[in-house]
Structure 1
Amino acid sequence: MSDNVIETSTGSSDTEARRRQHEAVEISGWGERFEFVQPHNLSFWVYIVLTAIGALQAWSFFAPQAGFYADGFAIAAVLCSLCGLAWFAWFRHIDRWERQPGRLIAAALLWGAIPATFAFAMTVNTAMLGIYPKLFGQVWSANWAAGATAPITEEAAKLCGFVLLMGLAPRLIRTVNDGLIVGAFIGLGFAVFEDFLYAANASAQSFGTDPFGNAVHMSVTRIAVSFVSHPLFSALVCAGAIYLIGTKAQPRRIGLGLAFVAAGMFLHFTWDDAVGLSGGNGLAMFGVMFASIVLGFTILTIAFRRAAPREYQFVRDILAPEVEAGHLTDAEVDGVLDKKARKAFQKAAPDRQSRRARKHLRRAILDLAHDVARERGSDTEAVQHSRAEVERLRTAAGLDHTL
């Protein structure tokens, strides 16, 4: 769309607000669609081949035992899947800025579940864990081998998939926030299958003695600590990768990128080697794990806060013509983006019904931003419907354009 033909939704000529919107849509990639099948893209074929290898590895691992421990495998699959669905719903909830297309999320989950787990991590981990006892002895290996291996092999495996997805969706994965969200979904796929793998092994290693109970016990144990796991680690590593690589929407920041990658790997190390770090003391091990949880979520909060201003500016620029045309107010847009303004916006509501309407209004304004970006600023039926929903909720919230 060239500047000399840009038209606003109200029919006025090219404006500064309209230019801001056009540039924001171009740079951010908001509204872009994702096509997984790209025969002319090498990333597509690498993804397919490695997924096929991972699937064959998974089949060769599970198939010989599946008939003997079917009950245990089934309950482990159900429990781990339910946990995964809960985290999936939460990650989709926090993916509030540029909503990643469902196909891209599916590709991220699949990579974490199959190629990263079975084509890379399990194969390399098995080899390395067999070497360490010979080099350093059984005691050292029991305390430190997992942390000396998994943070490197597993984070590298997940990061390879993230780079491939960047090759498949270069306009969709551009900001640090994209790295955090897509990385979390890759980690979620890895975590669900790793949890299932542990539960399946618990069934098989009991030699047929209560395979169902062993699978339930291991599944519940893994699920109980899943809130600090691979989604957190890979979210930080993939966010760091965006800083390291640099994109059209995110200038390269090598120092910050290395810091986030190192943080993700370090947290992975502390989680896997909590026994070694605590000297085998149960209370000290709890302290190590608690400190790791606090540190992990602190760093994750910092990562999201550093990523937020870029997304905020995209929202403001995409909605600038809507504000100029009087469909929105600056205060309403600020109520979506700024935490302090959002609290004041809610507090100013006269009653409970109005507060509820204002909460839905914030969501409707973001929906309008997504529709405007998807339609590239055109005054389509979808955009008109979103505007009408904003107006309906504004009326229910007791607001008017004089806010």
Structure 2
Amino acid sequence: MSKTGTTTTADTVSPEARQRQAHALEVSGWGERFVFLQPHNLSFWVYVLLTGIGAFQAWSFFAPTTGFYADGFAVAAVLCGLCGLAWFAWFRHIDRWERQPGRLILAALLWGAVASTFGFALTANNAMLSIYTKLFGQEWTADWAAGATAPFTEEAAKLCGFVLLMGLAPRLIRTANDGLIVGAFIGLGFAIFEDFQYAANSTARAFGTDPVGNAVHMSLTRIAFSFVSHPLFSALVCAGVIYIIGTVAQPRKIGRGVAFVAAGMFLHFTWDDAGGLGMGGILTFPVMLGSIVLGFTILTIAFRRAAPREYQFVRDILAPEVEAGYVTDAELEGVLEKKARKAFIKSAPHHKSRRARKHLRRAILDLAHDLANDKGADTEAVRHSRSEVERLRVKAG
């Protein structure tokens, strides 16, 4: 069966292309399933135990006041939940290479929301703040204690969950890009529940005076700055740890890993201690703005450094498809490299063609994912993806 622009057939794909594909699937873990229930895995029991402790702590924290401020708590839960859903959708959108299974993402969110927040960070932070107050006084504590505590306690709490998830999904969490994505979801779970906690506390501290108004005000304040928060910090820290330890899919780069871990903790410090760094005055906003710019600059660098490994996996997984003519070299590079992508889109003869080429890029990635899910076999899902690529190629002109 010949394909567009070539006389090569699927039956004559070289053994080398098949070998490249098989090796990429083995090393990358693309297409692997995630099983949470692993009774013979110690990581499973540690995860369950610590999440259970976090759930108990959360109940103990909120239960005494829920009956008094139920309306405010409900409003805060809705607002923080909607913000979390928006970020969840965005993170799933940018998870374009190895799509992490939904159950793994839920496990990451649950750890960040329950175990890290209430099982670790709340207790450790309160203890450290008490110590700082006794050692350095109220004024120093107000300016510096948050930044001297949270980057260590909270990032360590989130990282513990990441390590446990690596133990539960060793074939799925292997590259720096995996660390960025899974770390971001752990951070997202932490951020949602921390924002809700702040809103609940603001309602309770007002002794029931306008509970809904207080909850709305605090929730919106936290949401306004949610784009620079725990997802960014933990994404950098978790990616850095992958570089430090190295995996079969990610060569060890200790210097780069330490730099990303330090960057995540430093950004956490600058964000929490913006008031102290800004000397409590007009410099606070420039410090916050600088932290935002620096944070997204480093995050962009982290994704760019992680991308080449994922690009190579895509090339290897699709090697038989390119050789058989189902995908062209230009189309494949248009999926991966930024310059090639722009050139591929701009070379389209008209607007509809450019739009079709954008969809074609997604269809090619879908084909790679279907091949990974079916271990390179010629299944119905793979054939359907090939037909979509062919259909969109015709529309793209």
TM > 0.5: yes
Deviation at 1:150, TM superposition (A): 0.3
Over the aligned positions, Cα root-mean-square deviation in angstroms equals 1.1
Deviation at 1:12, TM superposition (A): 3.7
Deviation at 1:253, TM superposition (A): 1.3
Residue number in structure 2 paired with 1:114: 114
TM superposition outliers: structure 1 runs of 4+ over 6 Å: none
Which piece of structure 1 moves more, 185-194 or 351-360?
351-360
Structure-2 change in CA distance of 1:22 and 1:9 (3 Å)? farther
Rounded to whole Å, the distance in 1 between the matches of 2:14 and 2:304 is 34
Q: Deviations over 1:32-53 (max 9, x none)?
A: 0100101110000000000100
Rounded to whole Å, the distance in 2 between the matches of 1:276 and 1:124 is 22
Letter of the structure 2 residue corresponding to residue 353 of structure 1: K
Residue number in structure 2 paired with 1:401: none
Residue number in structure 2 paired with 1:361: 360
Structure-2 change in CA distance of 1:355 and 1:277 (3 Å)? same
Rounded to whole Å, the distance in 2 between the matches of 1:13 and 1:91 is 36
Rounded to whole Å, the distance in 2 between the matches of 1:13 and 1:160 is 45
- Which segments of 5 or more consecutive residues in structure 2 lack a partner in the other structure? 1-7
Q: Mapping of 1:48-59 within 5 angstroms?
A: 48-59=48-59
Letter of the structure 2 residue corresponding to residue 271 of structure 1: W
Rounded to whole Å, the distance in 2 between the matches of 1:72 and 1:305 is 42
Residue number in structure 1 paired with 2:396: 397
Letter of the structure 2 residue corresponding to residue 344 of structure 1: A
Q: Does 1:98 align with 2:117?
A: no
Percent of pairs with identical residues: 79
Q: Deviations over 1:306-352 (max 9, x none)?
A: 00000000000100000001111000000000111111111111111
Rounded to whole Å, the distance in 1 between the matches of 2:9 and 2:121 is 52
Residue number in structure 2 paired with 1:4: none
When the two structures are superposed, what TM-score results if normalisation uses the length of structure 2?
0.97
How many pairs align?
Answer: 390
Rounded to whole Å, the distance in 2 between the matches of 1:254 and 1:231 is 22
Rounded to whole Å, the distance in 1 between the matches of 2:164 and 2:314 is 27
CA contact (8 A) 1:111 1:161 kept: yes
CA contact (8 A) 1:9 1:379 kept: no
Rounded to whole Å, the distance in 1 between the matches of 2:367 and 2:175 is 21
CA contact (8 A) 2:41 2:168 kept: yes
Rounded to whole Å, the distance in 2 between the matches of 1:124 and 1:139 is 20
Residue number in structure 2 paired with 1:329: 328
Q: Mapping of 1:253-402 within 5 angstroms?
A: 253-281=253-281, 283-398=282-397
Deviation at 1:355, TM superposition (A): 1.1
Rounded to whole Å, the distance in 2 between the matches of 1:342 and 1:22 is 26
Q: Deviations over 1:264-310 (max 9, x none)?
A: 000000000001101111x2000000000000000000000000000
CA contact (8 A) 1:116 1:190 kept: yes
Rounded to whole Å, the distance in 2 between the matches of 1:160 and 1:280 is 34
Deviation at 1:11, TM superposition (A): 3.1
CA contact (8 A) 2:239 2:260 kept: yes
When the two structures are superposed, what TM-score results if normalisation uses the length of structure 1?
0.96
Deviation at 1:18, TM superposition (A): 1.0
Q: Does 1:204 align with 2:204?
A: yes
**Could you say what secondary structure the match of 2:11 adopts?**
coil
Rounded to whole Å, the distance in 2 between the matches of 1:174 and 1:351 is 41
Rounded to whole Å, the distance in 2 between the matches of 1:240 and 1:356 is 37
Deviation at 1:9, TM superposition (A): 8.8
Q: Mapping of 1:78-89 within 5 angstroms?
A: 78-89=78-89
**Could you say what secondary structure the match of 1:98 adopts?**
coil
Deviation at 1:13, TM superposition (A): 6.8
CA contact (8 A) 1:368 1:383 kept: yes
Rounded to whole Å, the distance in 2 between the matches of 1:101 and 1:372 is 16
**Could you say what secondary structure the match of 1:103 adopts?**
helix
Rounded to whole Å, the distance in 1 between the matches of 2:9 and 2:51 is 45
Rounded to whole Å, the distance in 1 between the matches of 2:381 and 2:248 is 28
Residue number in structure 1 paired with 2:31: 31
**Could you say what secondary structure the match of 2:51 adopts?**
helix
Rounded to whole Å, the distance in 2 between the matches of 1:184 and 1:242 is 14
Residue number in structure 1 paired with 2:191: 191
Rounded to whole Å, the distance in 2 between the matches of 1:244 and 1:346 is 37
Q: Deviations over 1:347-366 (max 9, x none)?
A: 11111111111100000000
Q: Mapping of 1:109-148 within 5 angstroms?
A: 109-148=109-148
Q: Deviations over 1:61-86 (max 9, x none)?
A: 00110000000000000000000000
Residue number in structure 1 paired with 2:63: 63
Deviation at 1:14, TM superposition (A): 5.2
